[in-house]
Amino acid sequence: MCNCCNIIPGDVLLRLSKKKSLTTATRKSLADTLKYDVELRKLRVQARKLTLVAQEVVRERATLAPIPAITICNCNNTQSLPGGPMPHPAAAVDPTVKRVFETTTNVVDFFDKVFSRNSIDDAGMTLMSSVHYGNKYNNACWNGSQMTYGDGDGDIFVDFSQGIDVVCHELMHGVTQHTIQLGYANEPGGLNESISDVFGTMFRQWKAGQPVTRADWLMGTDIMGPAAIKDGYVCLRDMARPGAKHCLTRQPYHYSKYKAGMDPHYSSGIPNLAFHKVAMAIGGNSWGKAGQIWYRALTGFGPSPNMRMRAFANRTRRVASELYPGDAASAQAVDLGWKQVGL
């Protein structure tokens, strides 16, 4: 099964493609998406290898730009990447082009204002996005060098650019690639997916100005199509209740339920719930102390491609004490949040 850095796991696409209550066209679009994802994964794997080599060879990185350029290309429902460049995306008539430009700009602002980070690589890397990829392509993905968005089939999924948490989730895969460099299988894969969910949710809350007590903690609510909603699926994942029936991707929520080889889109439910519990216990805004602890654990220690969940949990415990010395309540919140999920 494809483990590409995209928002919809392969087994969900496969399961829905066999659902006889859906139209033939919808089932075909789901099956076709899975085929594309298998090949897109190869791009991501090679790009990750190149990033690893580049960081080993180049010790001193030059800053490309003080503010990253944001470019949007239109695939016009072909599979040709990156597609045709859009000269003035901020004023585009096409709502998807304009929306992706605006959301990506907002994510850049989020990275800068909250974490003092300059783009994905912290050196002003240009952020390229391709929209209208494929015919009813049912996914969004980071392929190792750029973003790609499908329009959805209009039945199970709608235009993937409509989910601002989805946009940030995928861009965070790029941040992970340029920092901790987690692999995409077993426990490192689950951490990889969780980090993208954590910061995607964090961004959505930041944009809405929501404290943790007012947020719904749902991922992907804005990309669910009418057929999915009719079946009771209101989101892809729920960080507060990973196993809830309203999630299209129901997840385990305790480490005792983890199994080797589990798809990262599922095992990520364990660290997702830990972050939720930590953020709720600390209170305030998720991008405050809880978010700063997670960000330092992600970016402050160099590559750890094989890091397991317990090691990451212990790292956040250490970071909490270092970032907020004397704040016993926050340190206790981090410790207890992980213990509640078995770590």
For residue range 64-82, list pLDDT tens digits in order. 899 999 999 999 999 898 9
Q: What is the C-alpha separation between 327 and 335, in angstroms, rounded?
A: 13
Distances (CA, A) of 52 to 49, 258, 304: 5, 28, 11
Contact assessment for residue 160 and residue 140, using Cβ atoms and an 8 Å cutoff: yes
Q: What is the pTM of this model?
A: 0.90
Catalytic residues: 170, 265
The tens digit of pLDDT for each residue in 159-189 reads 999 999 999 999 999 999 999 999 889 999 9
Q: What pLDDT sits at residue 91?
A: 96
The number of CA neighbours under 13 Å toward the Cβ of 293 is 30
Name the percent of the chain in helix, strand, coil, to the closest 5.
50, 10, 40
Q: What pLDDT sits at residue 2?
A: 38
In order of their start, the domains of the chain are 10-177 (3.10.170.10), 186-339 (1.10.390.10)
8: DSSP letter: S
Tell which residue, 213, 211, 210, 271, has the closest CA to residue 237: 271
Tell which residue, 310, 317, 303, has the closest CA to residue 175: 303
Low-confidence stretches of the chain (pLDDT beneath 50): 1-3
